[in-house]
């Protein structure tokens, strides 16, 4: 974002803040399109007017917004993998003994079969 123009930074920050505003008001249960449009308009107006003066602040907001979004995306993806593995009964850590496992059991390996390799 360092090489971006302050006006573009303003648009990016407005989009990010609008996304979080939408998530928050939807989860609270007070969503209305008028409220969302007025918030977007207000934030866009303020950030466009003061874009040159708050350019560094817009950088910081964009970086924080990106880190939070990517962090939540990572947690969501890992959670979805966990749910799918639980539903499909996939045991990645091999915590349960399975008779049809294709992994070698160390206790059953005979020492006569083990050779030193140089």
pLDDT, mean of residues 62-76: 92
98 Cβ contact list (under 8 Å, min separation 6) = 91
pLDDT computed for residue 21 by the predictor? 95
User: Which pTM value belongs to this model?
Assistant: 0.62
For residue 17 the two structure tokens come to: 């803040």
pLDDT tens, position by position, 38-57: 999 999 999 999 988 988 88
Reported confidence tier of residue 115, pLDDT bands at 50, 70, 90: low
Residue 74: predicted pLDDT:
95
Quote the number of domains for the chain.
Answer: 1
Q: What whole-number distance in Å separates Cα of residue 18 and Cα of residue 39?
A: 7
The residue-averaged pLDDT of 10-34 equals 93
Range of the domain at 103: 1-118
């Amino acid at each position: 974002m360092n090489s971006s123009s302050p006006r573009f930074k303003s648009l990016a920050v407005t989009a990010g803040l609008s996304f979080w505003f939408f998530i928050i008001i939807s989860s609270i249960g007070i969503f209305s399109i008028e409220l969302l449009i007025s918030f977007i308009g207000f934030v866009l107006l303020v950030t466009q007017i003061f874009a040159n003066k708050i350019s560094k602040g817009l950088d910081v907001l964009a970086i924080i917004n990106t880190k939070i979004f990517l962090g939540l995306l990572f947690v969501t993806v890992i959670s979805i993998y966990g749910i799918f593995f639980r539903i499909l009964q996939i045991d990645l850590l091999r915590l349960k003994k399975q008779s049809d496992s294709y992994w070698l059991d160390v206790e059953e390996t005979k020492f006569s079969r083990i050779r030193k390799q140089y």
